[in-house]
Amino acid sequence: MSAMPPPADSAFTVAALLALGHDCRYADDLTGAESRFSQAIAVDPACAEAWGGLGAVLAETGRPREAVAALTRADTLDPGLPFRLAALAAAEAACGEPAAAAATCRRWLTLCPGSAPAHRILADQLLRLGDSAAAATALREVVLGDPGQADAAATLVGLLTDQNDPLAALELAQPTLRRVPDHAALHFQIGRAWQRLGETVKAVAAWRRCLTFAEDTSPEAAGAQAALSAGAHVTPPVSPDHAPDRLYVRALFDRYAERFDADLIGRLGYRAPHLMREAIQALPDIGAGGLDILDLGCGTGLAGVLFAAHARVLAGVDLAPRMIEQARRRGIYHHLEAGDLMTVLEREQNRWDLIIAADVFTYFGDLGPVLTAVARALRRGGRLAATVEQAQEDDGVVPTPSRRVRHGAGHLGRTAAAAGLVTVSLTPATLRTEKQEPVGGLVFVLERP
């Protein structure tokens, strides 16, 4: 049976050719589809649909560079269609053009802000461009929108761990882990996050689960095997002076922020802030309301509440952002900052009348550097009120199994004098209980003459 000649009306001809092209494509006759779309373009070179259809077929037949040209032409003629931008971004990515693909994804996202495919392609291209922080932001949108996206979650956990935020990595992994419990790559990256936090037992358990689900020849299996070979020898991260890693401290208190007050006061009988206030109020020249006070490691503000009456300005700094959020809710601080207290002390020299540090120096080793920084930050006549857990050895700096550090009175006195600080008072006291046993400490006030 011979084919009917095309109708004379060109518009009808283009419509018929487009319909035939789509029919062929849906029937997996990609050669026929390419022919029909090309015929439609020959009749009407300004037909965006024909260019778009041709571009899709070219991409499906492994010719991404030709697909980019056709899809770009379609987008120029009829811009802003999300499905077409999706096809163009994928083709640009396949051509190895990450900058162009990322730009197309961003246009796509202005039309469809919640599009998981757009965020995923964007993340892949940003990784190719070396922008891991922006890639993590894009992947976060994917995982939060659909926790079942385990590949994206595994990549995100790895990125956040590499960016020194393993706590966020572990939190974001949990919903995906509940949905997809047998994803080898996710378990491998979770192991890396636990390792970064110094939680060796949990890291090893995650790597063993990875091996349970991984193919023997997969990169995850190789990585887990290598990690397990070294994992038994990993120790909690500490600095050369026995202080725990700052990232570990931040992660510990971020996880603890919501229940911090209830646990410390209700369960552990935490007394350090009250003991410090008593030591300060015992001094004859402490007035009400006239001091610039800096609360180091302010946590949720337990010490700040007790010292607020003495403050003209009350500022707080803490490593853990979630602790800062809790402190801000009290409404007593004039300024709060999430960061390293050493940075704040070095920045604010000759600034403070009183610096308080409740149960903070237990996460430092040698107190020399921090007391030197405190001395510079204090005004002349300014004071430091603080606590440490007491070591039995007079000059000792002793790490504990709970990753805190105990200090002897001799070490405290020696490092204070070296920093140019005078010991005003030094009193043994019980700071709290732990496993129903009292925790002995030292409450002290130092002064910059």
Q: What is the CATH number of the domain that holds 190?
A: 1.25.40.10
* pLDDT value at 268 more than 90: no
* pLDDT value at 449 more than 90: yes
Examine the domain organization and report whether 367 and 283 are in the same domain: yes
Examine the domain organization and report whether 166 and 264 are in the same domain: no
Smallest Cα–Cα separation from 344: which of 298, 386, 304, 388? 298
Q: What is the number of domains present in the chain?
A: 2
| Burial zone of 200 (CB within 10 Å; 0-12 exposed, 13-18 middle, 19+ buried) | middle
When pLDDT is cut at 50, 70 and 90, the band that residue 8 belongs to is: very low
Distance, CA of 363 to CA of 345 (rounded, Å): 16
Question: What mean pLDDT is predicted for residues 392-416?
Answer: 86
Q: What is the CATH number of the domain that holds 284?
A: 3.40.50.150
Distance, CA of 232 to CA of 224 (rounded, Å): 12
Global pTM reads 0.56
* pLDDT value at 97 more than 90: yes
The CA-atom distances, in angstroms, between 392 and each of 132, 211, 389 are 47, 45, 10
Q: Which two tokens stand for residue 293?
A: 């006070």
* pLDDT value at 254 more than 60: no
- Whether the CB-CB separation of 349 and 376 falls below 8 Å is answered with yes
Residue 233: its pLDDT value, please? 46
Of the residues 235, 266, 287, the one at which a domain ends: 235
Return the higher-pLDDT residue of 77 and 195. Answer: 77
Examine the domain organization and report whether 261 and 331 are in the same domain: yes
Question: What mean pLDDT is predicted for residues 424-435?
Answer: 87
Question: What mean pLDDT is predicted for residues 355-379?
Answer: 94
Smallest Cα–Cα separation from 343: which of 446, 245, 246, 249? 246
Which structural domain range is residue 200 located in?
159-235
Decide if 38 is inside a domain: no
Residue 218: its pLDDT value, please? 79
Of the residues 235, 268, 283, the one at which a domain ends: 235
Q: For residue 240, count other CB atoms closer than 10 A to its CB.
A: 7
Return the higher-pLDDT residue of 295 and 259. Answer: 295
- Whether the CB-CB separation of 382 and 352 falls below 8 Å is answered with yes
Q: Which two tokens stand for residue 198?
A: 């110094």
* pLDDT value at 117 more than 70: yes
* pLDDT value at 305 more than 60: yes
What crossing angle do the helices spanning 132-145 and 166-179 adopt, rounded to 10°? 30
When pLDDT is cut at 50, 70 and 90, the band that residue 259 belongs to is: low
- Whether the CB-CB separation of 431 and 271 falls below 8 Å is answered with yes
Q: What is the largest CA-CA distance in the chain?
A: 113
Distance, CA of 199 to CA of 197 (rounded, Å): 5
